[in-house]
Amino acid sequence: MAARKPPAGEREQLTLFRALPGDMRPRDAQDLMAYPFFALGKNRRVAPIDFEAGPVRIRVEGVPEHGIATIWDADVLIWAASQLVAARDMGLATSRLMAATPHEILAFTGRGTSLRDYQRLRAALDRLQSTTVATSLRQGDRRRLHRFSWVNEWRETVRPGGRSGGIELIVPDWFYSGVMTDALVLGIDPRYFRLSGGIERWLYRLVRKHGGTQRLGWMFELRHLYAKSGSLARYSDFALDVRRLAQRQALPGYRLRVALSGGVEHLYFHRLSGAPAP
């Protein structure tokens, strides 16, 4: 009797998508811009992120070894979204199984290409894989939760001498389906990758998501912003950070202003006239 073949794994069921060469417009997934999915500090975070507002429920958990994926780790997902949308717009087939060299990912996200940068990329992929998310977003019912990791699996090929030959990773269906729907992706300013602070990176993405190109801009109560950030900082420290960012005008393409309205502190923001459309 012939031996039964083991069931095919996810990798064997997917067609490999090879990263496109050259520069392309950075694009981000709107859901990731609007909600607290990532740790905002570089220190290892093991405390879960819990967020609930109306029909939206989110819980993000990490393992003690790696901690929750950070907002800098999310650059890998911005790279993936940019690749997938560019390929779709060119009429090319896409896949959740993606392949690239570490150099391609690092260069796209404005990183260096030293040994330390390669090691940080591997650590980011480990955090993305070990971070688990449960969310009701796009599920039609707040009681229904979609559970996934930011990277289902990843592997690296190594050439003789220890040099990397390339990376393959599988993004989750929740992320892939959102990216491949036009309304759920936005272009972002390439200068985003130069932002060094977790709060300013998070705030840029939120402002880009909600501010858009509306002439009169948008506003949020600082207390509401604090809840949406998932930050572990005290509210007073978070508010101080936002005020400093507004004072420095730290976000590319947007004007920020913190002011009291009805005794409540708000952040007002609008897109600068003449700023290049992201």
144-155 pLDDT per residue, tens: 899 999 999 999
Residue 187 DSSP SS3: strand
Nearest alpha-carbon partner for 270 in 228, 188, 208, 223: 208
Q: How many CA atoms lie within 13 A of 183 on its CB side?
A: 1
Residue 191 DSSP SS3: helix
Beta carbons within 8 Å of 203's beta carbon, 6+ residues apart:
225, 242, 245, 251
pLDDT category, 214, cuts 50, 70, 90?
Answer: low
Residue with tokens 């690296």: 156
Report the pLDDT averaged over residues 192-220: 88
Residue 4: pLDDT over 90: no
Cα 204 from Cα 71, distance rounded (Å): 12
Nearest alpha-carbon partner for 16 in 150, 171, 179: 171
Residue 214 DSSP SS3: coil
pLDDT category, 213, cuts 50, 70, 90?
Answer: low
Beta carbons within 8 Å of 255's beta carbon, 6+ residues apart:
217, 249, 269, 270, 271, 272
Nearest alpha-carbon partner for 173 in 136, 143, 201, 146: 146
Give the type of residue at 137: L
Cα 119 from Cα 133, distance rounded (Å): 24
- What is the DSSP code string of 109-164? TT---SHHHHHHHHHHHHHHHH-EEEE-TTSSSTT--EEEES-SEEEEEE-TTS-E
Who has greater pLDDT, 194 or 274?
A: 194
pLDDT in tens, 67-122: 999 999 999 999 999 999 999 999 999 999 999 999 999 999 999 989 899 999 99
Strand 264-271 relative to strand 132-135, pairing: unpaired
Poorest-pLDDT segment among 40-44, 67-71, 224-228, 271-275:
271-275
Would you state the CATH architecture of domain 190-278? Orthogonal Bundle (1.10)
Who has greater pLDDT, 201 or 141?
A: 201
Q: Which two tokens stand for residue 274?
A: 């003449």
Give me the residue spans of the domains in the chain: 8-187, 190-278
Q: Which two tokens stand for residue 146?
A: 């979609």
Instruction: Give me the residues paired with residue 28 across strands.
Output: 186
Report the pLDDT averaged over residues 37-53: 96
Cα 134 from Cα 76, distance rounded (Å): 20
> pTM for the full model?
0.92
Residue 237: pLDDT over 60: yes
Average pLDDT over the chain, rounded to whole? 91
Strand 97-100 relative to strand 17-18, pairing: parallel
